[in-house]
Amino acid sequence: MPTFFAKMKFLPRLLAAAFASVVFATAARAESWWDSEWTLRKQITVDTSATGVAIADSVGTTPVLLRLHDGNFTFGAAKDDGGDLRFVAEDDKTPLTYHIEKYDPVLNEAFVWVKIPDLKPGAKTTLWLYYRNAGTKAARADDPKGTYDADTVLVWHLAEHGGPAVDASGNGHNAANASLAADTAMIGTGLKLDGKTAVSLPVSPALAWAASGALTWSAWIKPAALAPNAVIFSRRDGATALVIGVNNGVPYVEVTGAAGPQRSATGVPLAAGGWHHLAVVAGGGQLAVFLDGEPYATLAAALPALNTAAQLGATTGGFAGELDELEISKVARPAGFIKFAALAQGGGDAAGKLLAFGADEQPKDWLSWMKGGYFGVIIASLTVDGWVVIGILAIMAAISWFVMINKVGYLNSLGRGNALFLKEWSHIATDLTALDLGDPDNAKSLGGRVDAAGQKALRRSTVYRIYHIGAEEIRHRLKADQSEKILSARSIQAIRASLDGGLVRETQKLNRLIVLLTIAISGGPFLGLLGTVVGVMITFAAVAAAGEVNVNAIAPGIAAALLATVAGLAVAIPALFGYNYIVTRIKDATSDMHVFIDEFVTKMAEFYAEPSQRSTNFTRAPFAPSEPRK
């Protein structure tokens, strides 16, 4: 049997191959899965082609509203604050900026705004929503300012529940005064106007309008009553003004300048009590009114120069109803941009055709079961000391499995060789050296009766090697006297001693490396227990340092600490079963050698002893001092 170190030279190659396969699997997965710490994803398709909602005009970079609910999102798999939500572009590599307007895991409702760079008209654009990650990377990554382009100067979601509106664009254009909340607005919470209260917008250089400049103004409105000249938005500076309102249900934009007031043409009036998307776009010496994403009216006038405070509503003749999602840009947005915003934010059938949510997907590689669920939480919470202990246990497991596989293969080959030799041994009649001709090649072939496969098995036969010792001893002693083939009692006992020596050496070979299994059996659980105790100590020390008892913080650490004990048992249990099996096989092989030695000595006494000694039992007789040795 080759030495342990000679055979162990193949173990590094085995471990390197395993490591390479893991790296290859991980690398292959990285091409189709953005980050392995996220274990669920779903594809979202924005379809502006004829199969969805046809939008032929240019859209450009735009934020899209994603309404998450039970029908398209599994809230129980995500964090309670939505912190593990991530959005990735179609290439599954480029993260997209986003921010969460509302996330309610109790009502299972969320509003998330995601920036889509350069949305193409008449085409399908896909993005990926990733979630379910309990690791350290899963903190909130909202970026409200990054969700909008540089041309967006004000965005009010109006989700402050009556407090001053906060500018989500990151430009700091917050409302100057508080407002009355509308809890059931178009998108979560909105603004309620009673016709007698106004909300002031701040004065800012970014909100200043140059004469004949560009502007896009949009909001969702819900008129409570169809009053005449109800002002929704106004900005005045002496005789110059811009007003957006609803006159008896007809949306309009009005510009007041040197020529007096000018108002857009009338169209089909709105009905009270319904939500509508209203937008005004100024540019190129013209103001256009869009209603629910479609062109509604135009006014051949340029945007006036204004740098005063603007207002939503009015203290006299103001709009009575609800308002939501106010957005102002310093450029004239294309018609496709306005239509997409109205359809995507409006919900209903149109939004369902425009935005399609795919089914949840999980990683498909062989490590995917480790990444999700409870086991993923345990792995993420494992500390450095735990990894060290598990690494040592992994080395012990590799060595123990190497020993078990090596030993079982050796014992199987040994058993085949013993069976083959004993079959030939049973045919010996008078000459015990007949199966060993002195020539090593002939000895291995048992006189030419064993083929190449049998010779390979025979070289592992312990019984054959002991027989070879006895045959050489007999041949050596018979050379002294060629006249007769007789061995003295002392010679027979000496040969017996040589056979016993061979038995000891073969037994030592059979038991070589078995101590490594006993180390794995006894040391594995204790080493795992050490890792668990240290892990528990670190967990409680962290709790003590934080000064706060939180079961959600303690539980993952304890679970991760117990993983070391599980690893120790995983090393010891297979080693225990393998050890018992191998020891049983070794006992069988040792018994075969004992039986063969007794048979060999008995036959030697029968064939070679002096006639007066042939009845003597030579198997256990002591040396006779008076007998001369041949």
Per-residue pLDDT tens for 229-252? Answer: 999 999 999 999 999 999 999 999
* Top-ranked range on mean pLDDT: pick from 10-19, 323-332, 426-435, 473-482: 323-332
Per the listing, tokens 């599994």 go with: 74
Strand partners, 110: 68, 103
Sign of torsion over alpha carbons 73, 78, 80, 84: negative
Per-residue pLDDT tens for 285-312? Answer: 999 999 999 999 999 999 999 999 999 9
Average pLDDT over residues 442-449: 57
Q: In what order do the strands lie in the sheet with 60-68?
A: 60-68, 109-119, 98-104
> What are the chain's domains?
39-148+359-376 (no CATH), 152-330 (2.60.120.200), 382-624 (no CATH)
Euclidean distance between CA atoms 140 and 150, whole angstroms: 23
Per-residue pLDDT tens for 5-57? Answer: 444 444 445 444 444 444 444 444 444 789 888 989 999 999 999 999 999 99
Per-residue pLDDT tens for 498-555? Answer: 888 888 898 888 888 889 999 999 999 999 999 889 888 888 887 777 666 666 667 7
Euclidean distance between CA atoms 315 and 337, whole angstroms: 33
pLDDT at 519: 92
112/475: higher pLDDT: 112
Residue 307 near residue 209, CB atoms below 8 Å: yes
Neighbours of 50 (CB within 10 A): 9
pLDDT at 216: 97
Per-residue pLDDT tens for 76-134? Answer: 999 999 999 999 999 999 999 999 999 999 999 999 999 999 999 999 999 999 999 87
Residue 385 near residue 535, CB atoms below 8 Å: yes
Candidates 268, 338, 262, 267; CA nearest to 300 is: 262
pLDDT at 626: 36
At residue 629 the predicted structure's pLDDT band, cuts being 50, 70 and 90, is very low
Q: In what order do the strands lie in the sheet with 260-263?
A: 199-200, 310-312, 230-237, 240-247, 250-257, 260-263
Q: How many residues does this entry show for the chain?
A: 630
Strand partners, 115: 63
And the tokens for 115? 């920036």
And the tokens for 351? 């939004």
pLDDT at 577: 94
Average pLDDT over residues 340-361: 93
Euclidean distance between CA atoms 340 and 555, whole angstroms: 46
Euclidean distance between CA atoms 203 and 452, whole angstroms: 99
Per-residue pLDDT tens for 362-389? Answer: 886 544 545 555 666 677 677 788 888 8
Q: Which amino acid makes up residue 249?
A: G
Helices 551-608, 373-381: crossing angle, 10 deg rounding = 90
pLDDT at 400: 92
pLDDT at 607: 77
Mean of pLDDT over the chain: 84
